[in-house]
């Protein structure tokens, strides 16, 4: 499949998706959204692919939603067409994917990164929700996901001031899983993705579902949900293989069944 605004490459069981609108610092317009949705759906549907990495350039992961595309839109255009609601399909991706962030991840760029299962940041990464400077607010989940990730005080401060947070503060605050040298970002993210891709696929799907459930349920319901998924994995061939491999001191050989 060919895309206008992203590059897609399969390396073994890992799909690498690179945002590619350098002239606009990877600003997210409708074409980027359409390309990303299609690429993530193709990744999800391809049994040979087990984990994905979404990245940008060294200067920018994405500098936000495309301001020039939004500038002249009216309330009726936005509300009537449910502008950018398509990003819900990005979060519907069932297999694990990582955002590898170098440079600016601002506005919709920060929000896209937070839709990933986790973020790995280059040491030059800068996160922010600067929409207030345009007299608007986050609109792709930033006020909700940032608050869940770093807590009310910092999320409120960032949304109200529009200031940027550097990679190290982002790591300290729990927004990113780890920080690596910018030049090694994609290699490091690919290494992590390759390690995840080597896990039993149904266990990886279940892991992702249960961690995400922590944001949607009470503790008790979440624990019950986790236990049911855990029980369910005992119906898989890979559970038998995984435990036999441990006992026989050899690596597991997964069938995904």
In the complex with ligand CO8, which residue's Cβ is closer, 27 or 115?
A: 27
Three-class SS of 75-140:
HHHHHHCCCCCCHHHHHCCCCCEEEEECCEEECHHHHHHHHCCEEEEECCCEEECHHHHHCCCCCC
Min separation Cβ 131 and ligand CO8, Å? 5
Residue 251, CB-side half-sphere exposure with 13 Å CA sphere: 5
Given the residues 62, 128, 131, 226, select the one marked as catalytic.
Answer: 131
Asked about 139 being catalytic, the answer comes back as: no
Burial 216-248, CB ≥16 within 10 A → b, else e = eeeeeebeebbeebeeeeeebebbebbeeeeee
CB of 193 to ligand CO8, least distance (A): 26
Strand 51-55 to 118-122 pairing: unpaired
- Rank residues 134 and 199 by Cβ distance to ligand CO8 and give the closer one: 134
* Closest CB to ligand CO8 among residues 18, 194: 18
Choice from 106, 159, 175, 207 touching ligand CO8 (CB under 6 A): 106
Q: Does the annotation count 216 as an active-site position? A: no
CB of 38 to ligand CO8, least distance (A): 19
- From 37-45, 89-97, 99-107, 147-155, span contacting ligand CO8 (CB under 6 A): 99-107
Residues 23-82 that bind ligand CO8 (CB under 6 A): 24-25, 27, 63-68
**Of the listed 39, 65, 125, 155, which one is catalytic?**
65
Catalytic residue among 64, 108, 141, 242: 108
Question: Does 108 participate in catalysis according to the annotation?
Answer: yes
Are the beta carbons of 99 and 113 closer than 8 angstroms? yes
SS3 100: strand
Among 39, 98, 99, 108, binds ligand CO8 (CB under 6 A): 108
> Given the complex with ligand CO8, which of 38 and 134 has the nearer CB atom?
134
* Residue 237 parent element (H or E): helix 237-247
Q: Is 131 a catalytic residue?
A: yes
In this complex, which beta carbon is closest to ligand CO8, that of residue 137 or of residue 253? 137
- The string of DSSP letters for 67-81 reads HHHHTT--HHHHHHT
| Closer residue to ligand CO8 (CB): 108 or 242 | 108
Cα 201–chain centre separation: 18
**Which of the following is catalytic: 111, 171, 188, 226?**
111
The torsion of the CA quartet 150, 89, 34, 9, rounded to 10 degrees, works out to 80
Applying the rule CB under 6 A, the residues between 125 and 154 that interact with ligand CO8 are 130-131, 134, 138-140
Residues paired with residue 8 on neighbouring β-strands, in sequence order: 17
Q: Does 83 bind ligand CO8 (CB under 6 A)?
A: yes
Residue 163 DSSP SS3: coil
With beta carbons less than 8 A apart as the criterion, state whether 118 and 135 touch. Answer: no
Q: Give the active site residues.
A: 65, 108, 111, 131
Residue ranges in contact with ligand CO8 by CB under 6 A: 24-25, 27, 63-68, 83-84, 104, 106-108, 130-131, 134, 138-140
């Amino acid at each position: 499949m060919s895309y206008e605004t992203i590059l897609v490459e399969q390396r073994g069981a890992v799909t690498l998706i690179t945002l590619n609108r350098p002239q606009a610092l990877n600003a997210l317009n409708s074409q980027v959204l359409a390309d990303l949705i299609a690429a993530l759906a193709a990744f999800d549907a391809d049994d040979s692919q087990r984990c994905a990495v979404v990245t940008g350039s060294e200067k920018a992961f994405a500098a936000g939603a495309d301001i020039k595309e939004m500038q002249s839109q009216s309330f009726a255009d936005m509300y009537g067409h449910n502008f950018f609601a398509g990003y819900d399909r990005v979060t519907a991706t069932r297999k694990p994917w990582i955002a590898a962030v170098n440079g600016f991840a601002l506005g919709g760029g920060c929000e896209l990164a937070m839709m990933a299962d986790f973020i790995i940041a280059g040491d030059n990464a800068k996160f922010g929700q600067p929409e207030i400077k345009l007299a608007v607010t986050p609109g792709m989940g930033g006020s909700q996901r940032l608050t869940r990730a770093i807590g009310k005080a910092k999320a409120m401060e960032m949304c109200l001031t529009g200031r940027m947070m550097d990679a190290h503060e982002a790591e300290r605050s729990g927004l990113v899983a780890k920080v690596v040298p910018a030049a090694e970002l994609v290699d490091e993210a690919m290494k992590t993705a390759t390690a995840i891709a080597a896990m039993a696929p149904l266990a990886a799907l279940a892991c992702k579902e249960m961690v995400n459930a922590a944001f949607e349920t009470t503790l008790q319901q979440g624990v019950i949900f986790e236990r049911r998924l855990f029980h369910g994995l005992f119906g898989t061939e890979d559970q038998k293989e995984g435990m036999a491999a441990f006992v026989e001191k050899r690596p597991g050989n997964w069938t995904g069944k």
